[in-house]
Amino acid sequence: MSEQQKNSYPKPKLVPVPSTNIIPERDVDKRPILECRHLGIDFGGLTAVDDFNMAIGRTEIAGLIGPNGAGKTTVFNLLTKVYQPTRGTVMIDGRDTAGKTTIQVSHMGVARTFQNIRLFGNLTVEDNVKVGLHEYTKYSALSGILRLPSYWKKEREAHEKALELLSIFDMQDMANYQAGSLPYGAQRRLEIVRALATQPSLLLLDEPAAGMNPSETAELMNNIRKIRDTFQIAIMLIEHDMNLVMGVCEGICVLNFGRIIAKGTPDDIQANPAVIEAYLGKQKEA
Partner 1 sequence: MKRIRLSKTNRINFATYGGVILAYAVLQFLNGGGMLSSTIRGQLVPICAYVTMALSLNLTVGVLGELSLGHAGFMSVGAFAGAVAAAALPITSDPLRLAASMVIAALAAAITGTLVGIPVLRLNGDYLAIVTLAFGQIIKSIVENLYIGIDDRGLHASFLENRIIFRDGGRMILNGAMGVNGIAKISSFTAGFVLVMLVLVVIFNLVDSRAGRAIMALRDNRIAAESVGIPVTKYKLMAFVISAAMAGAAGALFALGQNTITANKFDFNTSILILVFVVLGGQGNMWGSILAATFLTVLPETKAMRGLADYRMLVYAVVLILVMLATNNPTIQDFINTKFRKKKKKGGAVK
Partner 2 sequence: MLIFLNHLINGISLGSVYAIIALGYTMVYGIAKMLNFAHGDVIMVGAYICFFSVSSFQLPPAVGVLLAVIACTALGIVIERLAYKPLRQATSLAVLITAIGVSYFLQNGAQLLWTSNIKMFPSFFSSEPIALFGGELKITIAAIVTVLACVVIMLGLTWFTGQTKMGKAMRACSEDKGAAQLMGINVNATISMTFAIGSALAAIAGVLFCSVYPTLTPTTGSMPGIKAFTAAVFGGIGSIPGALLGGVLLGIIEIFAGAYISTQMSNAIVFAVLIVVLLVRPTGLLGKQIREKV
- By CB under 8 A, which span of 37-45, 53-61, 90-98, 118-126 interacts with partner 1? 118-126
One-letter amino acid for residue 209 of the chain? A
Cross-sheet strand order for the sheet of 46-56: 46-56, 34-43, 87-92, 95-96
For the bound state, the minimum distance from the C-beta of residue 78 to partner 2, rounded and expressed in Å, comes to 11
Among 59, 73, 113, 187, binds partner 2 (CB under 8 A): 73
One-letter amino acid for residue 267 of the chain? D
Q: Distance between CA atoms of 69 and 94, rounded to whole angstroms?
A: 30
Among 6, 95, 118, 153, binds partner 1 (CB under 8 A): 118
Among 155, 216, 219, 268, binds partner 1 (CB under 8 A): 155
Q: Distance between CA atoms of 279 and 117, rounded to whole angstroms?
A: 26
Q: Considering beta carbons, is residue 9 or 114 the nearer one to partner 1?
A: 114
68 binds partner 1 (CB under 8 A): no
For the bound state, the minimum distance from the C-beta of residue 118 to partner 2, rounded and expressed in Å, comes to 8
254 to 283, contacts with partner 2 by CB under 8 A? Answer: none
Give Cα 264 distance to the centre of its chain.
Answer: 18
114 binds partner 2 (CB under 8 A): yes
Angle between helices 184-197 and 214-231 in degrees, nearest 10? 10
Say which entry of partner 2, partner 1, none residue 73 contacts (CB below 5 to 8 A, set by partner kind): partner 2
Q: Distance between CA atoms of 207 and 249, rounded to whole angstroms?
A: 14
Say which entry of partner 1, partner 2, none residue 283 contacts (CB below 5 to 8 A, set by partner kind): none
Q: Distance between CA atoms of 3 and 42, rounded to whole angstroms?
A: 43
Give Cα 212 distance to the centre of its chain.
Answer: 17
Q: Considering beta carbons, is residue 116 or 215 the nearer one to partner 2?
A: 116
Give Cα 229 distance to the centre of its chain.
Answer: 15
130 binds partner 1 (CB under 8 A): yes
For the bound state, the minimum distance from the C-beta of residue 10 to partner 2, rounded and expressed in Å, comes to 35
| Number of residues lying near partner 2 (CB under 8 A) | 5
Say which entry of partner 2, partner 1, none residue 273 contacts (CB below 5 to 8 A, set by partner kind): none
184 binds partner 1 (CB under 8 A): yes
Q: Distance between CA atoms of 133 and 186, rounded to whole angstroms?
A: 19
For the bound state, the minimum distance from the C-beta of residue 34 to partner 1, rounded and expressed in Å, comes to 16
Using alpha carbons, list the distances in angstroms from residue 146 to 136, 140, 152, 240: 20, 10, 11, 49
Q: Considering beta carbons, is residue 2 or 176 the nearer one to partner 1?
A: 176
- Which of 264, 222, 201, 198 shows the shortest CA–CA distance to 63? 264
Residues that bind partner 2 (CB under 8 A): 43, 73, 77, 82, 114
